[in-house]
Amino acid sequence: MTRTLEHDLRDAVDAEVRFSSGDRALYAADASNFREVPRGVVIPKSMDEMAKIIAICARHGASIVHRGGGTSLAGQTVSAGSVVIDSSKYCNRILEIDPQARLARVEPGVVLDDLRKAAGEHGLTFGPDPATHNHNTLGGMLGNNSCGVHSLYARRTVDNVRELEALTYDGARLTLGATSDEVLAQKLIEPGREGEIYRGLKALRDGYADEIRRRYPRIPRRVSGYSLDELLPERGFHVGRALVGSESTCVTILSATLELVPDPKHKVLLVIGFDDVANAADAVPDLLKFRHDKDSNGLIALEGMDADLPHYMKVKDFRVEDLQYLSKGNGWLLAQFGGDTQAEAEHHAEACRQRLKPHPHVVDMRLLSDPEEREKLWKVREAGLGSTAWVPGMADTWPGWEDSAVGPEQLGAYMRELKALYAKYDYKGSMYGHFGDGLIHTRITFGLHTDEQVANYRSFLEEAAALVVRYGGTLSGEHGDGRQRAELLPIMYGEKLIEAFGEFKRIWDPLGRMNPGKIVNPKPLDTDLRYGPQFERQKPEYHTLLQFPESRNSFSRAVMRCVGVGECRRHEGGTMCPSYRGTREEKHSTRGRSRLLQEMLEGDPIRNDMQSDAVHEALDLCLSCKACKHECPVSVDMASYRAEFLHHYFKSHPRPLASYGMGLVHVWAPWAAKAPWLMNLITQTPGLSAIAKIVAGVHPDRDLPKIAGKTARAQWRSASQHRDKRAILWMDSFNNHFTPAPLLAAGQVLELSGHEVMASPKGLCCGRPFYDYGRLEAARAYLERCLDVLTPLLDERTWLVGVEPSCLSVFKTELLSFFPDDARAKRLSERALTLGQYLTMHGHAPIYLERDVAVHGHCHHKSVIGIDAEIALLSATGRKAKLLDDGCCGMAGAFGYETQKYPVSEAIAKQGLLEHLDQTPDDHLIAADGFSCRHQITHFSKRQHQTLPELLLAAMTRGETA
């Protein structure tokens, strides 16, 4: 029996070998327009395995493609029938940092920010820094020759490579760097594969040197094509650098020795507003005079953007608060200056400001010295790709011509002609990018859904390629060629250099097995389109209970929102995506889940009927934290997609045990409250509790919550009547039955603040746990009852005030998803407030708090509701109140109880919440409003904690109210 590739790989290596339909579907797309289903996926656990993996693939004649962060915009990491090798999960070690030599040696899976953080301890950094720096890998940067914001002084990735350790498809392992004449002479006479490669490279160099010098653009950002110019004598015949930007079409990179640069000690940002973005581009050459070529002081970054970018952010309500740091204008340059001191950095910026004062097109200038303000404005610029995608009321935008570049002195003129080309095809697209290097980023309204749209797309790209070449520019100044631009390379380089590219690839990869169809022998740029005409004709539409108004009430359109930018794959900062952070698995990222839902629409290789086990497996570890809806630049709402999918999936699949235990806590808790001693006897007694956990599907190490002796509702007695303002205190099931103290404290705080308080009517529940297991019919019925009962009570003087964020978030999101056009739902959503929001709205603030406070925010509190009011209230006490940037606690209602999910819950807690709690001084108070969060803190850390209502009550009873 002939052994298969999959079996041979499993037998020979410890790597994760994945050839299932779900795994193949997961890696069928990147951030580009293209989709190609691979043969399988291999995730090596060490670089030592790489030679074995490739040797086995070679024995089977299987082509391979390498993948890092998966954010390629040109289709570099999709390859039909190839084996995808993903090094990001395990092969991510920083092998060495030599601060004296300013060098770092890394594996290809290292995330850029991890290297920058390690180098930063020595006052150094790796200069190239794309907008995806918090999740893109060094291997991807080497493959695409990435650049980024600070290429003004750090240049491209290729310019920062000292040496590569590489492996050819046929097994030659080589160390590649600059080659002196003496070393080259020795290499040429060596026997074997290495000598053969060097002889081929020298012959290629000698045969095409004049053409390379003539045709390669002399601009800062040439990325398109192979880096054959690095083989020229004047460039030191640097074989390692010649491979940078080759998109894994030639070799496998095992490790890279990279050059580090000093990180400016102090930075400021000069925001320059112009009357038009093209006029801003015209001013770039003047600003470049403030650049210091020999150090990292002076001008170190010069970014630009047009008025459309902030407009789109306002329409999407994304990072709108950060736009306040822009100056006035209709187009902007963001000029960053570095210095050894703050005064020096500000001196450079002020000199530039004085230079620009008489400029006829400058509208306004603003200097940002505060690091937090600078960072927020940089985030606006970095969010460009996501901010210009899926803009409500506008046609869909696509990559395709997203990083063309010219010389900076030509930028304004090129931009005007490019805009005219847009107009010719009736296209729109915001322009922003690395203006200091002459590069424009954009997403364009290509359409791509009909044959006519695809034909126009091809015609436009051909004209755009001719235009940028006429300006002496490059098709790609950052993202590479891939599937997107390789077919256009003859326009830029001519047929002779295209022959040279083919020869270069054959020297390294004679059989053509390394990432075929990229740079050399490309497939047509208008084939294999993910959402092309064929997809549009066969795309299924599903009847759903939840509505998706932001996606034209279409579930299919909603799940297509993810554009692959990969913000959900970051390792720290924000909340998204906790299950990815806990597992480092692509399928457990928001992007991975989106990809599988999109593949479900394709129907091959996975099913398209909402019954796919592969999709369920990916969605099962989603905590429904809702952070993606808030933090993802295209507002992917995975919690809603998950609930809708599970609603359909569980029609023909059994629900897990936990869905009947903790998943129905709001159903059985009222019955348990009639005899709490009996329930506690079962859940708190050793032996009995173990049986109860087995029955309920709860992990044996997880403590079950204890039912309160008396519910909050039973204990609450209102002492306030007929006051001007009234609060309906929402008696959520969690606090009401298990921890009454926060609800009772909230009621007392409201009364002390001079407000009438009434408990929410008995029998009402938001049904929060229903969504975790797809019980959408029941959830809708619960909310209909809430609308019927609460609507008459919510008059002009009455608000609904809650303590549990996960319950309040139902009224902010799910309620409107079920009833998007119901005026009652909109009113209830607007009138549902946290205690902090309610008190802030009415101008109340306590004036005393005995200690500083560290606040852990519930995911829904941070992502859906907003936690600024709570932080402001605590800060008003005169003590410091800090919101911990600790992500998700990992509990998420029933999630952390489930036997299979407990290890992930623990991993999430350890890498975020627990680490931050350990760093919090013992004398700080710990505040956490979420019931699940408090349970997680108690279970893993034993730190004492209180809710905001309890802290405020303590403050108010020790002092007076303002």
Looking up tokens 């904690």, which residue turns up?
A: 945
- Checking if the pLDDT of 960 tops 60, the result is no
What integer pLDDT is reported at residue 1 of this predicted model? Answer: 36
Average pLDDT over residues 812-823: 96
Average pLDDT, the chain: 94
Choice between 14 and 3, residue whose per-residue pLDDT is larger: 14
Residue 443 above 70 pLDDT?
yes
**What is the reported pLDDT for 848?**
77
pLDDT at 56 over 50: yes
Measured CA to CA, the distance from residue 898 to residue 906 in angstroms comes to 12
User: Count of CB atoms within 10 A of residue 690's CB?
Assistant: 12
Q: Which of 12-16, 306-310, 376-380 has the lowest mean pLDDT?
A: 376-380
Q: What value does the mean pLDDT take over residues 932-947?
A: 93
Could you write out the DSSP letters of every residue in 117-129?
HHHHTTTEE-S-B
Tokens of 408: 């900076």
DSSP 692-747: HHHHHTB-TTSPPPPPPSS-HHHH------S-SSEEEE---HHHHHT-HHHHHHHH
pLDDT bucket at 333, cuts 50 / 70 / 90: very high
| Integer Cα distance of 717 and 712 in angstroms | 10
pLDDT, average across residues 781-797: 95
> Which pLDDT score is estimated for 382?
82
Alpha helix stretches (DSSP H) within 551-664: 555-559, 578-583, 590-602, 613-620, 627-631, 638-649
CA distance 222 to 404: 9
| pLDDT given for residue 2 in this prediction | 52
Cα distance between residue 858 and residue 867, in whole Å:
9
pTM: 0.94
pLDDT of 90 reads 96
pLDDT tens digits, one per residue of 685-710: 999 999 999 998 999 999 999 999 99
> For 473-498, what is the mean pLDDT?
97
| H-assigned helices in 191-323 | 192-215, 239-242, 277-282, 284-288, 308-316
309 by Cβ neighbours in 10 Å (0-12 / 13-18 / 19+) ranks as: buried
Q: What angle do CA 916, 918, 921 make, to 5 degrees?
A: 100
Query: 962 pLDDT exceeds 60?
Result: no
Residue 739 has pLDDT above 60, yes or no: yes
Q: Note the helical H segments in 408-488.
A: 411-424, 451-470, 482-485
pLDDT digits (tens, 9 = 90+) for 161-187: 999 999 999 999 999 999 999 999 999
pLDDT at 849: 82
Residue 522 pLDDT grade (very low, low, confident, very high; cuts 50, 70, 90): very high
How much is the average pLDDT of 463-489?
97
Burial 170-199 (b: 16+ CB within 10 A, else e): eeeebebbbbeeeebeebeeeeeebeebbe
- Count the Cβ atoms, other than its own, within 10 Å of residue 294: 7
- DSSP letters of 791-814? GGG--TTEEEEES-HHHHHHHHTH
* pLDDT, position 880: 87
What's phi and psi for 901, nearest 5 deg? -100, -10
Could you read off the pLDDT of 295-308 as tens digits, one per residue? 668 999 999 999 99
- Which range of 644-648, 721-725, 942-946 scores highest in mean pLDDT? It is 644-648
Structure confidence at residue 378 (pLDDT):
86
Q: How far apart are CA 809 and CA 832, in angstroms?
A: 9
Q: Please tell me the least confidently modeled range out of 129-133, 537-541, 940-944.
A: 537-541
Long-range contacts of 422-429 (CB under 8 A, 24+ apart): 425/456, 425/459, 425/460, 427/460, 428/308, 428/394, 428/395, 428/397, 429/388, 429/397
Would you state the pLDDT for residue 557?
Answer: 92
Asked if residue 847 has pLDDT above 80, the reply is no
Instruction: Give, rounded to a whole angstrom, the gap between the first and last alpha carbons of the chain.
Output: 83
Residues 6 or more apart whose CB falls under 8 angstroms from that of 360 comprise none
Radius of gyration of the chain (CA): 30
Task: Give per-residue pLDDT as tens, 749-767.
Answer: 999 999 999 999 999 999 9
Mean pLDDT of 815-820: 96
| Residue 846 predicted with pLDDT over 80 | no
The length of the chain is 962
Tokens of 530: 């993910």
Helix (H/G/I), strand (E/B), else coil: 308: helix
Q: Which residues on adjacent β-strands are paired with residue 365? A: 272
CA 275, 278, 284 angle in degrees (round to 5)? Answer: 100
